[in-house]
Amino acid sequence: MISLVSIPSDYSSSLYALVAFSSSSSTVLNSGLPQDLEVLQPVLGDRADFWVSDSVSNSASHLTAPPSSNSELEVQAQTTQSPLTSVPSPSLQFVKAISSWSSGISESLNFDAPLVAVVENPNPRSLTPPPEANDTKELSSVKGGGTSTEQPEHEQRDCLAADEMLPKPAFNRVFQVQVKGQTIANLPTQAQADALAQSLEQALNNPDFSPETLQATIDRLTPIGKAGEIILFQIDPELISQFDRNPELLAISWVNNLRSALEVLPVPIAEAQSQMHTLSLTQKQLKGNASWYDPSFAGSLTATGETFDPVKLTAAHPTLPFDTYLKVTNQETQDSVVVRINDRGPYLEDRSLDLSGEAARCLNSEASGVVPYEAVVMENPQAPQTQEAQPTAPSIAPSSAEVPRTN
């Protein structure tokens, strides 16, 4: 395998390249230089100090000293009788000739990053100051109230992107687990990153591994990533406490990042959620306008008695049975996410659904506050049908007469 190829940035006037071959290439090299490379020898001469080992035991070839000056070598190239002296970039021709010489050499030309690597970087979230209150006071992201206002242009984001799934700001450093140079996960500690990297490396070297089988699922309430029957990782309670993102989305994100790195299409959020919870679409559909909960409601009780958590993928609806799953689609962006009904509201005529902050983030509806939506009721065919639960506590939604609170 070629371990190093270094060409000067000004290769138009430089005629040397550093090429190191491993012993795995010796069989091909021992067959002799091809004609394309032989014609370069008069140009390079002794100045390039090009040497290829004929010994299998010698692990690499070497290029020793670079030319003393580009100008001196340039003069030499101009005065040397060679078919390539008129080519403006001999060093580039040199490398191209190696690449096209044989399939064996082409396979040895591996300039990619290591298959699996861990890279330490500053945590962008710890470097970014929190937004001031007046930056968000116009938003209508309130539970059951507020009015939609004109918003500045909002860049649509992928809520599953690696740079969106960062540890809490308290962690000043992040340890990126990368596959083929692409970030799969950002972890808060070196030990966690090393463990995930080792697991991925073992899986990728498994002869039964297939990237098409990569998926996120749930095992005993714990989100995990799998490739067929091979478990790659699990989102345990300790890891959950180090992020302020939904743990199911964290697992989906890591799996999708790995699929992309291995050149397999990622799974859309709603489809991945449906697989995790064994959900299927029904014929029941609804539409309207959806707002999202003000963050100040975090910790309050919902109509089911659950504690409202902005990170959970939940929603409030006036009449749907509790624990109903909805696939909600933002008609403005076509982003979709699956939410579970666990509260009552909203109590304004112009809207019929209130989303958690995490759901709004996945729908790219945070900035606009209120968006038109379409939804499809989903069901788990394997789950027993249950009657709607009676509220054990009043809804946290304010009455329509209450003065709305904004961010």
pLDDT digits (tens, 9 = 90+) for 62-119: 434 444 455 554 444 444 444 433 445 555 565 555 555 444 444 444 444 579 999 9
Tokens of 382: 């394997």
Buried b (16+ CB within 10 A) or exposed e, 238-274: ebbeebebbbbbbbbbbbbbbbbbbeeebbebbebbb
Reported in sequence order, the residue ranges of 182-248 that DSSP labels E, i.e. its strands, are 182-187, 214-219, 222-227, 230-234
The residue written with tokens 């009015």 in the block is 147
Rounded to an integer, what distance in angstroms lies between the CA atom of residue 262 and that of residue 258? Answer: 6
- pLDDT reported for residue 129: 67
Measure CA 124 to chain center. Answer: 15
- Judge whether residue 125 has pLDDT over 60: yes
User: Which residues are within 8 A (CB) of 391 and not within 5 positions of it... i.e. 6 or more apart?
Assistant: 303, 304, 305, 344
This prediction has a pTM of: 0.66
pLDDT for 344: 95
Q: Are 227 and 261 in contact (CB under 8 A)?
A: no
Q: How far is CA 295 from CA 36, 211, 366, in A?
A: 67, 38, 12
Cβ(178)–Cβ(260) below 8 Å: no
**What span, in angstroms and rounded, lies between the C-alpha atoms of 158 and 133?**
25
The reported pLDDT for the residue numbered 361 is: 95
- Of 140-144, 153-157, 350-354, 401-405, where does the model show the most confidence? 350-354
Domain 278-379 has CATH 3.40.718.10: no
Tell me the C-alpha distance between 360 and 154, whole Å: 13
Task: Look at the alpha carbons of 24, 30, 34, 37 in this order and tell me if their dihedral is positive or negative.
Answer: positive
On the question of pLDDT at 35 being above 60, the answer is no
Is the Cβ–Cβ distance between 40 and 73 less than 8 Å?
no
Strands 18-20 and 173-179: unpaired
> Letter for the amino acid at 285?
Q
Cα separation, 43 vs 38, whole angstroms = 10
Helices (H) and strands (E) in the chain, counts: 12, 16
pLDDT in tens, 378-407: 998 766 554 444 443 334 443 222 323 333
Instruction: Specify the residue for token string 């302020």.
Output: 244
Mean pLDDT of 324-330: 97
Distance between CA atoms of 43 and 47, rounded to whole angstroms?
9
Paired tokens of 352:
């019929």
The pLDDT value given to residue 347: 86
Distance in angstroms (rounded) separating the CA atoms of residues 146 and 346: 11
> Is residue 226 predicted with pLDDT exceeding 50?
yes
The mean-pLDDT minimum among 73-87, 88-102, 175-189, 330-344 falls in 73-87
What's the mean pLDDT in 200-220?
95
Give the CB-side neighbour count of residue 154, counting CA atoms within 13 A. 17
Give the separation between CA 92 and CA 15, rounded to whole angstroms: 9
CB 115, CB 206: distance < 8 Å: no
Give the separation between CA 65 and CA 45, rounded to whole angstroms.
13
Taken as a whole, the chain contains a residue count of: 407
CA 104 to CA 348: how far, in whole Å?
69
What type of residue sits at position 95?
V
User: What integer is the mean pLDDT of 340-356?
Assistant: 93
137 versus 145: the higher-pLDDT residue is 145
Q: What is the pLDDT of residue 349?
A: 83
Confidence (pLDDT) at 309: 95
Taking the CA atoms of residue 14, residue 15, residue 18 and residue 22 in that order, the dihedral angle to the nearest 10 degrees is 160
Whether the bond into 391 is cis, omega within 30 of 0:
no
C-alpha radius of gyration, the chain, whole number:
30
Which of 20-29, 103-112, 282-291 is predicted with the least confidence, judged by mean pLDDT?
Answer: 20-29
Q: What percent of the chain has pLDDT over 70?
A: 59
pLDDT higher at 345 or 127: 345
258-278: average pLDDT:
96
Q: Which residue has the higher pLDDT, 248 or 295?
A: 248
Q: What does the domain layout of the chain look like in residue ranges?
A: 4-108, 116-141+161-265, 278-379
